[in-house]
Chain A
Amino acid sequence: MKRGTLTWVARAALVAVIAVCACMARAAADGGSPAPLIVRGQVLAVGGGFLAFTTGDAVRLGDVKVPPGIGLGRTVRVTIDRQTHTVTAIDLDLNRPVPGEIDASELPRDDVSVDPRSAQTPAAGHEVVAGASTGLVTVTIDVHVPDVTPPSDDVYIATDRTNYSAAELRMNRVDALDWTVTLPLPAGSALRYEFTRGSQASIERMRDGTLVTPRELTAATGAVANDTVARWADKF
């Protein structure tokens, strides 16, 4: 065999080996790399190459441009590369649902860049509830009113959202003495409220006639308050 022929064969073999290795590497990469993580959360701060959520957890920013308008409290969706544990995309358009999206409170510890001593774990820190830290949850308030309630009267709830406006929210009658209302509230927020028949003169009172301290409901998914009006200010 001529030397030139040997060189050609060696070159061809080398190319083939490189090609095979490349294919194997790609195949390994395709088959072994985990899917990116989609996380929805509120921004606390951006700086030093990190994005921190209001949960207190920070994720490292990769090669991504921080969009303008991102500010304190703004809800964003970030994409995290599970291999590099860095943010590869920040999305401000949250109208489009993304399957597999998780809340920032459920962020796996591996993806959080944080001093080990200040590491947050679900057991030690946040109570992990789906959708607990951002977005709206639906709560239901049911109330049973006294027998003396005039049948033609409606029942309202007055909340701290309107400084207890007596006719703030008309409830829906279930039957003669039972009423209900369903409210969307920001998860984790506290709602203080009391019941009225539409005016301050017909506000609820404690059983002993004293003024009512507003009831409080913390918004969580599926939260239901079962309340009873002991008596009305003008009917006893």
Chain B
Amino acid sequence: MRRVAAAAVAAAVALAAFATLAARPARAALPSRIDIRAQKAGLFTGPTAVVAADGAVRARVGTLTVRADALRYDLAKNRLVASGNVEIAGPHATLRADAYALDVATGDATILQLGALPTTLTIHGGGDAEPVVGPPPPRAFDVADVHGQRPYVSGPHVVVVPNATVRFTPARVLTDLGRAVPAPTYLYDFATSPSFAQQSLPGSTFDQPYALFGTPNSLAAAHLRYVQGAGLGLGLDEHLVNGTRSYVVASAATGAGGALNVVAFEQISRSMSQQVFASRQDGVTGAEYQLLHNEYASVTSLTLQQVAGYQAADLRISSLSHAIPHFISYKFSADVGLDRAPGMLPFSTDTRTSLEGLFTTPTIRVPLGTTLSSSLDMTTTLYDFPREAGSSTFTTFLAKKVSPAIGLLGSVQFFQDYNRYRDLQSFFYPPETVVLPDGSTYYGFAAYTGASTYRTYSLTTTYAPGPNLNVEVSLMHHRDFPQYDGYGNPPYSLGFDVRVRTRGGPAIELGRSYLFDWGGQRFSPTYTLSVAP
């Protein structure tokens, strides 16, 4: 008897649902917008970005109107789940249910009826599909538990543009200080393309963006900026993104340190791309254009640069890294360049040729559970006018994992560079003495004729018990030539750096360094503070 009743209920549901088939959104066609109104709605930007609406919810998805006590919209999956006194109204029929899930992209819908006997029913998005009484598709009703979390933005009216933006009108926006501030409207972009993260605004100490308009392919935003030493200013930027094929980001920043910048990239073909950087800041205009061609085992690039009258052109070919198993990896680069610097002595126009080799050993295991690896990077550049410059960097890493949370990393780096001007060596490096900040004379510099050696020994301990806390303590010793009191690198330094990410909030990084026996001071503490989204 019970089975018969259940079958009858299921059949009734199926019949009712069948009537709503025509009311489903079109298959594989995302609606241009999803309009949600509720007593309260919020955007939660945790691991799952979701719009949560509660109390007298009404959502319009294409030709469909969904009313419910509660609704969740998963922005990444474009999936809607409604619950409690659900009413789904289409142009031709209305259906009531206790829960309803809709994949907005495919049109697949799942309905739960808690009548005499609970029943689930799935309607696939095909135009002639029939409703199927049966188990719901896996994770059809999955929603994020946002209980106890604070929404990043909240307000009674939400408009979601799939794969692009969420606009709240009016809005209350949670600031980094933990307080929510009112705004007439707030646009949150959740760009699916990383190219929206490209920035062309100049660096700042603090930057609070305020999105103005957005589509799946564009985003315009205003920025409230603070630049240390320059003060507050405003910025405006516009992103145009074409998937992974191209993007353009243009920006304008006002106030001291204001600038006009453009960054653009285009993948011309599978093997060729071009990019442009252009800026105007403090009356100085600069531009760089780069054309890249990728071959099977090498990359060829042509780079043209102009900054305030200085011009440079480079044609460079670099091999990709090639490994000889268990022995060494190597790569080589060759570059021919032309520099033009009006007024530069002894010539305003110069050509140069560079060669670079990079050799890296594989990481090998050594006693005491440590790993060892080394690299050697050598560069030499010959200029047309009598100059030769070069450098070599040898680095060795020794790493040991003490526990899952604690790691030790020791490194030794030898860096040497040289500048030789042949007959003009004494012109560019005249033997001279240096008067130090404390008034004494330093004679060591007289020995410096263009060859420098920098030796760095460092030991870093990392403590990272979880992703939201990262502590680094570094001890560093510089032994350079030339090195003299107050110039160059401090002989000894000790620093710690703590990076904490608040729950659902920004990452705050605080660092403090102590420099010992440098610049006439026994130790000199310096602070660094940064906040990243």
A residues in contact (CB < 8 Å) with B: 42, 44-50, 52, 54-56, 58, 71-75, 113-121, 124-127, 133-134, 146-148, 151, 158, 160-170, 172-178, 181-186, 188-192, 194, 200, 203, 207-214, 219, 231, 236
Contact = CB atoms under 8 A, between A and B. Distances in A.
B147 A186 contact: no
Given A47-B98, A158-B197, A170-B499, A54 B292 contact: no
Interface stretch (B26-34, B129-137, B154-162): B129-137
The 5 lowest CB-CB distance pairs between A and B, nearest first, are: A58-B118, A56-B136, A48-B114, A164-B197, A72-B70
Contacts of B195: 211
A115 B7 CA distance: 8
A231 B392 CA distance: 22
Interface in B458-473: 460, 462, 464, 466-467, 470
B371 interface: yes
A118 B135 contact: yes
Contacts of B399: 173-176
20 contacts: A56-B110, A71-B54, A72-B81, A72-B84, A73-B52, A114-B117, A134-B145, A146-B321, A160-B76, A163-B533, A173-B460, A175-B371, A175-B399, A178-B363, A184-B466, A190-B77, A200-B197, A208-B271, A209-B292, A236-B299
A44, A191, A200, A211, most chain B CB atoms within 10 A: A44
B199 A188 contact: no
Interface in B475-496: none
Contacts of A170: 470, 499
Nearest to B299: A236
A31 to B, nearest CB: 30
A180 to B, nearest CB: 9
B358 interface: yes
A55 B112 CA distance: 11
A47 to B, nearest CB: 5
A95 to B, nearest CB: 11
B294 interface: yes
B74 to A, nearest CB: 9
A87 B358 CA distance: 68
Interface of B: 3, 6-7, 9-10, 45-49, 52, 54, 69-72, 76-77, 81, 83-84, 98-99, 110, 112, 114-121, 133-136, 138-147, 189-192, 194-199, 244-245, 265, 267, 270-271, 273, 292, 294, 299, 318, 320-321, 329, 331, 358, 360, 363, 371, 373, 375, 395, 397, 399, 401, 407, 409, 411, 413, 460, 462, 464, 466-467, 470, 499, 501, 507, 532-533
Contacts of B46: 161, 186
Given A134-B145, A211-B265, 12 more contacts: A45-B114, A49-B114, A54-B143, A56-B141, A72-B84, A73-B146, A117-B6, A151-B395, A173-B399, A175-B409, A183-B467, A211-B267
A214 B363 CA distance: 28
Nearest to A157: B467
A114 B119 contact: yes
Given A48-B114, A165-B532, A188 B270 contact: no
Contacts of A162: 533
Contacts, number: 253
B173 to A, nearest CB: 16
B407 A174 contact: yes
Nearest to B6: A115
Contacts of A73: 52, 70, 72, 143-147
Contacts of A190: 76-77
Contact of B270 (A120, A148, A210): A210
A46 B407 CA distance: 49
A89 B409 CA distance: 53
Contacts of B395: 151, 176
B145 A42 contact: yes
A115 B532 contact: no
B135 A56 contact: yes
